[in-house]
């Protein structure tokens, strides 16, 4: 295996870990990304930046640019808006969804603790069902596992 190929695999792993890998690198048809080694269609931040630059600096039409970079017009405007607000850092993909266990309130955690004290072998699936019955709230059993692991981590420190 060549050194170039190994470094490409390392970069792709790094992009994946950072969450900035392009999910559709095959859709990028821009000549720079096809012909120049520096331009990497796997790097979503670089692809988005070049899309914006192509339109704003080089005057390429939005329709042509989005076609060459594998985006929709709506995506272009979203990318532009976030870039204008946050700059280059706005092009880095953000994790979607809640940032914390927002359903795991103090009342639910106390309820879980009481159930575990009464029945130490209780499963997270059973706890999930009991929470739904008592609070009318659907909580994933994995969320319960994470909350318990977090509590265990705090008590061992």
Q: What is the dihedral of CA 77, 78, 79, 80, to 10 degrees?
A: 50
Residue with tokens 């976030």: 82
Cα four-point dihedral sign 86, 90, 96, 99: negative
d(CA 81, CA 61): 17
Residues 12/42, Cβ–Cβ less than 8 Å: yes
- 61-115 residue pLDDT tens: 999 999 999 999 999 999 999 999 999 999 998 876 666 667 888 899 999 999 9
pTM for the model:
0.60
Residues 82/60, Cβ–Cβ less than 8 Å: no
């Amino acid at each position: 295996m060549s050194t170039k190929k190994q470094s490409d695999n390392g970069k792709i792993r790094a992009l994946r870990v950072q969450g900035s890998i392009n999910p559709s690198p095959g859709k990028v048809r821009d000549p720079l990304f096809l012909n120049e080694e520096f331009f990497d269609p796997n790097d979503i931040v670089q692809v988005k930046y070049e899309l914006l630059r192509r339109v704003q600096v080089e005057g390429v039409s939005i329709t042509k640019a989005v076609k060459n970079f594998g985006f929709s017009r709506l995506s272009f405007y979203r990318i532009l808006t976030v870039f204008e607000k946050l700059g280059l850092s706005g092009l880095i993909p953000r994790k979607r969804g809640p940032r914390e266990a927002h359903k795991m309130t103090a009342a639910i955690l106390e309820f879980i603790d009481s159930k575990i004290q009464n029945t130490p072998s209780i499963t997270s699936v059973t706890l999930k069902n009991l929470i739904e019955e008592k609070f009318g709230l659907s909580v994933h059993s994995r969320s319960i596992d994470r909350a318990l692991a977090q509590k265990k981590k705090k008590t061992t420190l």
